[in-house]
Chain A
Amino acid sequence: MSGTLTLNKITAQRGISVGEAAKKIADLGWNPSYVQEAMTFPTDYKITKAPKDPMKQVLRSYFPMQEEKDNRVYGALDAALRGDMFRNVEPRWVEWMKLFLAIIPFPEISAARSMAMVGRLAPGEDLRTGFTMQMVDEFRHSTIQMNLKKWYMENYIDPAGFDITEEAFGKCYATTIGRQFGEGFLTGDAITAANIYLTVVAETAFTNTLFVAMPSEAARNGDYALPTVFLSVQSDESRHIGNGHSLLMSMLKEPENHLLLERDLRYAFWQNHAIVDAAIGTFIEYGTTNRDKNKESYAEMWHRWIFEDYYRTYMLPLEKYGIKIHHDDVQLAWKRLTDKKYVHKVGQFFAVGWSANFWRIEAQTEKDFEWFEHKYPGWYAEFGNFWKWYEKLSHRGQTNILFNGDVGYVYPHRCWSCLVPCLIREDIVTDEIDGKLHTFAHELDRWTAVNAFAGEYQGRPTPAMGRFSGRREWESVYHNVDMADAIKDLGFVRTDGKTLVAQPHLRFDAKEMWTLDDVRGHILKSPLETLRAMSPADREAHLAEYRKGFTINPCN
């Protein structure tokens, strides 16, 4: 018997090829003639050419593949417990997961919902299976992440914050930024939301920092669970990128789409940068205890993943189809991450507001300072004193850093567009929408809110475009409210009715833990309401002062 003869070869029979299977499946659809499908999710784009499915996707192979991926994930979680992972995990890291995992399941499930929108809009059936799989993938991501969070809650030293996770997501001054991300996937013009913002930009560019860079940092902090779950999640993204690119290619065929594509690529890139870099940059740079100078900083990773990979190989080639690419925006984002120290200003902002959140933030200390200075020259001069203050004021009995006049920090205005505050002070701009004054972190944020999210764009009617809505400035919800009352209203109090969920340290000792009484007596103010109440002259003077920035006082 031949040595190369195997049972598979003996029993093999003729089958249909993957390409043929995909072709037959694509033929399942038809054009209804009795009742037309309602176009319930409008778009201003014109799509006439049916997108192709580059992945040749078939559910028969999809489900077993995904089950196998799941088996590996759940097996690894069991192994992590058997290996006593939590004994060695860095609490500084896991605390930030309370924020990250509060946010991320909602954008994921929003992406599942948004597949309904592109599934109906895209002509032809070729890509429908791809959208179907993405829908089920996103359902996978959302519930697998909820499961991971539950697992942390059950096994980590301080479960508080995990135990209120979805409620906290709807209320917190930081998660509001994540909601802008998730709601952006499924509200407004269906193509703007579900194709450009979600798939072409968020998934194609920024999931690399979300789901690849973050797991690396998790592993450095003794957390092997997050990489297991999120690298498995990321393995689905290549299919989603394929879906997005295919639909994008079919839209490029219509010259009248080009103006909208330029608008949406601009909006989506800038806002993904503003939101994802704020959040993930902070988790990676401030949630870690690993200060290995040989590892890449967030900015260095961004340059590799976003600048080199995405900008050069994905965005730039779109120019040959006649799409105007705003090169300056990419350069500007890069400058914000490096020269303007965007991520560090976000980390500082989150730390200032620690008492109104639902996780612990530990002070950065001398051993962190050296790494920051090495990776971001000039960091120590700008942030060193702040973190010394933060450490000093982390003890009960001190005045909450948010209200402590000795520090020198000036609480920022909130950007009406990306919802991250206007942290690069010199870039703040204002404008009016429907006669109401708003603040913006950058001219591009103003353009997004005023020009892009409007019923007309450069003279072209855009009736399907969404609008910014709601009480977007979080601070206005608690304008003139005592800090303790606000925290109580938020539900960010432990079940003893007095101890705060958030703490400015990692001291797991009841005596060290701040309570409502420790933060009472300070009144929250909405910077926007305050600005609106000023006379025009006072407002200009205030903004001029704001643009000058602030200096943190020396901490002795």
Chain B
Amino acid sequence: MTAVPNVSVGSGAAGAAIFPDSDSRRYRYFEPRAKRATHYEDVTVDVQPDPERYLLQNWIIAFPNGKGAYYKDATAALSSNWHAFRAPDQEWERTHYQRQSKIEGMVQSVIANGRKSGAPKAFDKSWVKILQNHLGAWKHAEFGLGTSLMQAQRYGYTQMINNATLTNSSYKLRLAQDITLYLAEIGMDIPGFDDNAGKHTWLEDKGWQGTREAIEAIMGSGDYLEQYFATNIVFEPLVGELFRSKFLMQVASPNGDFITPSVISAAEADYERNLANAIDLMHLLVTDNQHGAHNKKLFQGWVNKHVALANKAAAGLQPIWSQPHSKPVQYADAHAQSVERIKKILGELGLVLPKE
């Protein structure tokens, strides 16, 4: 049925009448980062309120210790304004689904087309073992980071921090699943492929125990910001990119595998976004006019702790570089590049890389 308007002006449309604020067509309760609020800001800022921003009655349900739904000391970091952060990737639901869906479509097409052309059967035999054992083990590292960030997104003091953490978690969990299903699918084409070997390697193989320990240290942290920091500022450049970009992406095709780099490439683009978000947030905290020094000291402690774990992890993975038939990249070069990369990241935050 067609509703009949019940107003004197005969229309419910913008501009049908002029009266005070009939033209107030922007959210006016927050300060946009630039002159005009972005779409991301409009749908994100202040959706999670707190007593500083609008909760007139304070939190109305508390944990048994008296703390409300969100509290600032869920991290040891301090901020004079937790509300200032805006995620540089400007992610909200629509952009998130568009991007994730596009990646899934790309990954599935590459795998399907590769399998149609019989590509997995042409993979170098020793490379197949690497995929089975080591890429198979790596999927658990990605999953661990994903679940850790899923945990972390509960705690941030603002919607902007938590949503950036949530999308980071979503990207990691997608990648873990992509790798799982990729290996299962090519496994059907490769006689003798053991789909369970990856988990066994992850749990038992000596070379992987450093990585597992580094991941479990991030998962086990009770400080959500440490989890986010350790993932993006330390583990990813020193171990994540090292294994993905500087091993899988570069070594696969010389060993007859053009599928794996495509499956993994999305993760590199994911990381660029997550890194930008993480650096921006941490930069705000180290340059905070009240708490900058405190945060810098805290972050340096996190760097020291997680770099030591990440170095141990990377060293444990070193033998994998010598396992393929074709070895276009040397571990030492790859490792040196990852050290340069983290130095650059830490440099942006005024932090230093501890000596190995």
A: which residues have CB within 8 A of B? 11, 13-16, 20-21, 24-25, 27-30, 32-38, 40-41, 58-60, 63-64, 66-67, 70, 74, 84, 86-92, 94, 105-106, 109-110, 112-117, 119-120, 128-129, 131-132, 135-136, 139-140, 142-144, 146-147, 150, 153-160, 163-167, 169-171, 176, 179-180, 183-184, 186-188, 220-222, 289-290, 362, 419, 455, 463-472, 474, 477, 490-491, 494-496, 499, 501, 506-510, 513
Which of A33, A419, A490 neighbours the largest number of chain B CB atoms within 10 Å of its CB?
A: A33
Q: A28-B140, A513-B19 are in contact. Are A289 and B60 (CB under 8 A)?
A: no
Q: A64-B104, A166-B29, A187-B69 are in contact. Are A116 and B151 (CB under 8 A)?
A: yes
Interface assignment of B13: CB less than 8 Å from any CB of chain A = yes
Closest to A478 in B: B56
B: which residues have CB within 8 A of A? 1-9, 11-30, 39, 42-49, 53-64, 66, 68-69, 92-94, 96-98, 100-101, 103-105, 107-108, 112, 115-116, 139-140, 143, 146-147, 150-154, 159, 162-163, 166-167, 169-170, 173-174, 176-178, 180-181, 184-185, 188, 195, 199, 202-203, 209, 212-213, 216-217, 219-222
Give 6 A-B contacts (CB < 8 Å), ordered by A residue: A36-B220, A67-B98, A70-B97, A147-B39, A156-B12, A508-B19
Q: Are B2 and A222 in contact (CB under 8 A)?
A: yes
Q: A30-B203, A34-B213, A132-B150 are in contact. Are A467 and B64 (CB under 8 A)?
A: yes
Indicate which residue in B27, B64, B153 contacts A112 across the interface (CB closer than 8 Å). B153
Q: Are B69 and A110 in contact (CB under 8 A)?
A: yes
Which of A28, A29, A91, A508 neighbours the largest number of chain B CB atoms within 10 Å of its CB?
A: A28
Q: Nearest Cβ in chain B — how far from A551, in angstroms?
A: 30
Residues of B within 8 A of A110 (CB): 69
Residues of B within 8 A of A496 (CB): 20-21
Q: Nearest Cβ in chain B — how far from A221, in angstroms?
A: 5
Residues of A within 8 A of B219 (CB): 32, 35, 37
Residues of A within 8 A of B105 (CB): 64
A-B CB contacts (within 8 Å), total count? 374
Q: Nearest Cβ in chain B — how far from A421, in angstroms?
A: 15
Residues of B within 8 A of A466 (CB): 61-64
Q: Are B49 and A169 in contact (CB under 8 A)?
A: yes
Q: How far is the CA of A491 from the CA of B146 in the complex (A)?
A: 41
Q: Nearest Cβ in chain A — how far from B12, in angstroms?
A: 4
Q: A60-B178, A136-B96, A157-B22 are in contact. Are A32 and B220 (CB under 8 A)?
A: yes
Q: Are A143 and B44 in contact (CB under 8 A)?
A: yes
Q: Are B29 and A164 in contact (CB under 8 A)?
A: yes
Q: Are A186 and B154 in contact (CB under 8 A)?
A: yes
Q: Are B202 and A30 in contact (CB under 8 A)?
A: yes
Q: Are B220 and A60 in contact (CB under 8 A)?
A: no
Q: How far is the CA of A324 from the CA of B264 in the complex (A)?
A: 52
Q: A34-B213, A163-B21 are in contact. Are A470 and B5 (CB under 8 A)?
A: no
Q: How far is the CA of A115 from the CA of B162 in the complex (A)?
A: 13
Q: Are B49 and A29 in contact (CB under 8 A)?
A: no
Q: How far is the CA of A220 from the CA of B353 in the complex (A)?
A: 64
Q: Are B184 and A16 in contact (CB under 8 A)?
A: yes
Q: How far is the CA of A242 from the CA of B237 in the complex (A)?
A: 38
Which of B12, B69, B151, B188 neighbours the largest number of chain A CB atoms within 10 Å of its CB?
A: B12
Q: How far is the CA of A91 from the CA of B7 in the complex (A)?
A: 7
Q: How far is the CA of A467 from the CA of B20 in the complex (A)?
A: 43
A-B pairs, 3 with minimum CB distance: A170-B54, A35-B220, A222-B3
Q: How far is the CA of A334 from the CA of B242 in the complex (A)?
A: 62
Q: A16-B181, A139-B96, A496-B21 are in contact. Are A113 and B153 (CB under 8 A)?
A: yes
Q: Are B24 and A495 in contact (CB under 8 A)?
A: yes
Indicate which residue in B57, B139, B153 contacts A135 across the interface (CB closer than 8 Å). B153
Residues of A within 8 A of B23 (CB): 159
Q: Are B13 and A150 in contact (CB under 8 A)?
A: no
6 additional A-B residue pairs with CB within 8 Å, beyond A24-B180, A30-B140, A471-B56: A63-B104, A88-B3, A163-B27, A222-B2, A222-B12, A469-B68
Q: A155-B13, A290-B3, A470-B59 are in contact. Are A136 and B170 (CB under 8 A)?
A: yes
Indicate which residue in B20, B54, B57, B174 contacts A474 across the interface (CB closer than 8 Å). B57
Q: How far is the CA of A116 from the CA of B69 in the complex (A)?
A: 13
Residues of B within 8 A of A183 (CB): 59-61, 68-69
Q: How far is the CA of A166 from the CA of B166 in the complex (A)?
A: 21
Q: Are B97 and A67 in contact (CB under 8 A)?
A: yes
Q: A94-B12, A509-B17 are in contact. Are A136 and B166 (CB under 8 A)?
A: yes
Residues of B within 8 A of A132 (CB): 146, 150, 169-170, 173
Q: Are B61 and A35 in contact (CB under 8 A)?
A: no
Closest to B17 in A: A508
Indicate which residue in A63, A88, A455, A510 contacts B2 across the interface (CB closer than 8 Å). A88
Q: Nearest Cβ in chain A — how far from B19, in angstroms?
A: 5
Residues of A within 8 A of B43 (CB): 143, 146-147, 150
Q: Are B48 and A188 in contact (CB under 8 A)?
A: no
Residues of B within 8 A of A155 (CB): 13-14
Q: How far is the CA of A474 from the CA of B58 in the complex (A)?
A: 11
Q: Are A86 and B166 in contact (CB under 8 A)?
A: no
Q: How far is the CA of A491 from the CA of B56 in the complex (A)?
A: 12
Closest to A89 in B: B12
Q: How far is the CA of A33 from the CA of B219 in the complex (A)?
A: 11
Q: Are B184 and A469 in contact (CB under 8 A)?
A: no
Q: How far is the CA of A156 from the CA of B199 in the complex (A)?
A: 56
Q: Nearest Cβ in chain A — how far from B271, in angstroms?
A: 18
Q: A35-B220, A132-B170, A464-B64 are in contact. Are A471 and B47 (CB under 8 A)?
A: no
Indicate which residue in B61, B94, B162 contacts A184 across the interface (CB closer than 8 Å). B61
